Amino acid sequence: MQKIELELIALSHSVTQTQNYAIVLGEVQGNRRLPIVIGGFEAQAIAVVMERMNPNRPLTHDLFRNTLNSYNIDIKEVVINDLVEGIFFSKIICDHEGDIVEMDSRTSDALAMAVRFNCPIYTYEFIMEGAGVIMDELEESNIHDKSKVISANVSYEKYSSEELNKLLNKVISEEDYEKAAKIRDEINRRK
């Protein structure tokens, strides 16, 4: 089967499942999108990398990356290889000194590792046919607008720059990376 390359398009609150998030993957060579509902922990693990944040302590996926690096294991690609009753299945393809090893993984964890290793993400046509959607330009712009803020709508406009920097340090120390991303966005908006 020929693989279809995907790229991460957006990460936002799930419309259908309020306690979860949706990650939207898009075809590199096409206009179909693959929305996948993931949990809050995995969303945070992906958001930390997308927002280029440096947590005080390594998250679980960072620990796994560091372990793989210590043993000269590189993740070459992630493949979303099956869809059964609405549940996605994935494999992480690793290279250890020329030996290729495939590991089964939850898709959310595989995606969290893919962003850490900056490796390609693939799927197959039958999955795109079963769960993919075609978005028009208006829907696409809405996804990008919503994905910029993945936590509750709290306004930081009233804070001074000094207050924002103190608050940013505080929420990072508390490992609340969603709030930290919003605060950082407000700081960057002012520059």
Q: Could you tell me the sign of the dihedral formed by the alpha carbons of 114, 115, 120, 124, in that order?
A: positive
Tracing tokens 């690096």 back to the chain, one arrives at 69
Say if residue 143's pLDDT is above 60: no
Q: Which residue has the higher pLDDT, 53 or 83?
A: 83
Say if residue 179's pLDDT is above 60: yes
pLDDT of residue 174: 73
Query: In this predicted model, what pLDDT tens digit does every residue of 2-12 receive, in sequence order?
Result: 999 999 998 88
Q: What is the residue extent of each domain of the chain?
A: 3-150, 151-191
pTM over 0.75: no
> Is CATH 3.90.700.10 the classification given to domain 3-150?
no
Mean pLDDT of the chain: 84
Say if residue 154's pLDDT is above 50: no
Please give the order of strands across the beta sheet that includes 99-106. 99-106, 87-96, 73-84, 121-124, 3-13, 21-27, 32-38, 133-134
Say if residue 93's pLDDT is above 70: yes
Least confident of 135-144, 156-165, 180-189: 135-144
The pLDDT of 143-162, averaged and rounded, is 53
Say if residue 122's pLDDT is above 60: yes
For residue 176, give the nearest of 159, 146, 152 by alpha carbon. 152
**What is the distance between the alpha carbons of residues 66 and 72, in angstroms, rounded to a whole number?**
10
* Sequential DSSP letters for 33-67: EEEEEE-HHHHHHHHHHHTT---SS--HHHHHHHH
Say if residue 150's pLDDT is above 90: no
The pLDDT of 111-135, averaged and rounded, is 93
Query: In this predicted model, what pLDDT tens digit does every residue of 155-178 receive, in sequence order?
Result: 566 677 887 888 888 878 777 777
What are the phi and psi torsion angles at 36 (to 5°)?
A: -135, 125
Say if residue 25's pLDDT is above 60: yes
